[in-house]
Amino acid sequence: MEIGQILSYDELRAFSGFQIQHGMNYSTPKGGHVFLMSMRENAPYEDWISEDGSLVEYEGHNQTKSLCADPERTDQPRRNKSGSLTKNGKFEEEALKFKNHGIGPCKISIFNKVKDGIWTFCGVFSLIDVSYVQAGPRKVFRFKLQLAESNPQTHSVVDLRHDRMIPSEIQAAVFKRDQGRCVKCGSTENLHFDHILPYSKGGSSKKVENIQILCAKHNLSKGNRFV
């Protein structure tokens, strides 16, 4: 898996080894830790990724609706009623272990929502810091993460000259235009967002005209042209 790879819900489930239902996933059966983020207009949380794709700020998650009347005006919980840590609390503990004692950092695979049921891989990130800050009427967790690996299978380090972050709205527009298929062969498997003119050669990540969907086979054959 590489940055820019497009995953259906089934592929995401295969990666993590379970039915992902929530944004924050601590110790999944296969994929370590997983964060799902969304920067779409109506997204419930304030997630942010830097233009070069190397930094993420991820907001913690609210109290569940079954436990409080107005989650959006209630401090995000660190502990459950039973006293056990919530996902916020578990990841906070990991972040503080690293910040205060140099243990870790904990690595989290991050996926960004393109549309319902479609995600792109943003990389494996190190959880390096956390704050618990006032946001309007309540307090929220803000997790800070730094890109560590571009490929979780090989643990290779990213080369940002080639793997430049494509903004969410561009990904969504390209996915719609290309109808979720490889533009060369029409395949719907192992898809990838591809820069037509590579970023390293001055191609833009912000222009719909410069981004296309390719399958793994056609992405690879294209890559060879530039070796």
Q: Where do contacts with Zn ion occur on this chain (CB under 5 A)?
A: 182, 184-185, 187, 215, 218
Decide whether 163 or 194 has the Cβ nearer to Zn ion.
194
* In the complex, least distance from residue 60 CB atom to Zn ion, rounded to whole angstroms: 39
Q: Whole-number minimum distance, CB 169 to Zn ion, in Å?
A: 24
The answer to whether the Cα torsion of 202, 206, 212, 218 is positive or negative is: positive
Pull the structure tokens for residue 91.
Answer: 């990841």
The CA distance from 60 to 104, in Å, is: 20
Q: Return all residues near 51 (Cβ < 8 A) that are at least 6 apart.
A: 165
CB of 182 to Zn ion, least distance (A): 3
Q: Residue 95 or 182: which CB sits closer to Zn ion?
A: 182
Q: Are the C-beta atoms of 148 and 37 separated by less than 8 Å?
A: no
- Looking at the Cβ atoms of 3 and 215, the one nearer to Zn ion is 215
Enumerate residues 6+ apart whose C-beta is below 8 A from 72.
62, 138
Q: Which is nearer to Zn ion, 109 or 219 (CB)?
A: 219
Least Å distance between CB 168 and Zn ion? 24
